[in-house]
Amino acid sequence: MSKTTLSYAETGYFSRLICDYIAEKSTLTSFYGNFPEIENFEKQLQLKQQSFTANSRNTLVAQLEKQYEGFKISAATQENIKLLKKNNTFTITTGHQLNLFTGPLYFLYKIVSVINLSEALNAKHPANNFVPVYWMATEDHDFDEINYFTVKDQKIEWDAPHGGAVGELSTNGLAEIAEKASKIFGESKNGKQLQQLFTEAYTKHTNLADATRYLGNELFKEYGLIIVDGNDTELKRAFVPYAEKDLLKQVSYHKVTETTERLTQLGYNEQVHPRDINLFYLPNGMRERIVEREGLYYVNDTAIVFTKDEILKELNEHPKRFSPNALLRPLYQEVILPNLCYVGGGGELAYWFQLKDYFDAVAVPFPILLLRNSVLLVPEKLSDKLNKLDVSIERLFQKQTELKTAFTHQISDVEIDFSTQREYLKQQFEALYTLAKQTDASFVGAVGAQEQKQLKGINHLEKRLLKAQKRKLADKLQRLTALQDSLFPKQSLQERNTNFSEYYLPYGANLLSTLKEELDPLDMSFSVITL
Question: Who contacts 435 (Cβ-Cβ below 8 Å, separation ≥6)?
Answer: none
Does residue 161 register a pLDDT over 90? no
Q: How many CA atoms lie within 13 A of 169 on its CB side?
A: 30
Contact 77, 226 (CB under 8 A): yes
Total Cβ atoms within 10 A of residue 335 = 19
Does residue 165 register a pLDDT over 80? yes
Q: How confident is the model at residue 520 (pLDDT cuts 50, 70, 90)?
A: very high
Query: Average pLDDT of 180-201?
Result: 97
> What distance in Å separates the CA atoms of residue 185 and residue 200, rounded to the nearest whole number?
15
Q: Is 4 helix (H, G, I), strand (E, B) or coil?
A: strand
Does residue 434 register a pLDDT over 90? no
Does residue 463 register a pLDDT over 90? no
For the chain, the average pLDDT equals 94
Does residue 477 register a pLDDT over 90? yes
DSSP secondary structure string for all residues of 262-276: HHHHTTPPPSS---S
Type and span of the H or E element at 260: helix 251-265
Conformational region of residue 285, where left means phi above 0, alpha means psi within -120 to 50, and beta covers everything else: left
> What distance in Å separates the CA atoms of residue 338 and residue 54, rounded to the nearest whole number?
10
Residue 251: Cβ-neighbour burial (10 angstroms; 0-12, 13-18, 19+): middle
Contact 482, 133 (CB under 8 A): no
Query: Average pLDDT of 457-481?
Result: 87
> What distance in Å separates the CA atoms of residue 330 and residue 368, rounded to the nearest whole number?
12
> What distance in Å separates the CA atoms of residue 420 and residue 529, rounded to the nearest whole number?
41
Q: How confident is the model at residue 465 (pLDDT cuts 50, 70, 90)?
A: confident
pLDDT at 377: 98
Query: Average pLDDT of 25-33?
Result: 97
Please tell me the pTM assigned to this model: 0.93
Cα angle, residue 236 at apex, residues 314 and 208 outer, rounded to 5°? 105
Phi, psi of 373 (to 5 degrees): -60, 140
Strand order in the sheet with 526-530: 2-6, 526-530, 375-378
pLDDT at 418: 78
Positions of E strands within 122-246:
129-136, 148-151, 154-157, 226-229
pLDDT at 435: 76
Q: How confident is the model at residue 113 (pLDDT cuts 50, 70, 90)?
A: very high
- The rounded percent of the chain whose pLDDT value lies above 70 is 100
Question: Who contacts 306 (Cβ-Cβ below 8 Å, separation ≥6)?
Answer: 296, 297, 314
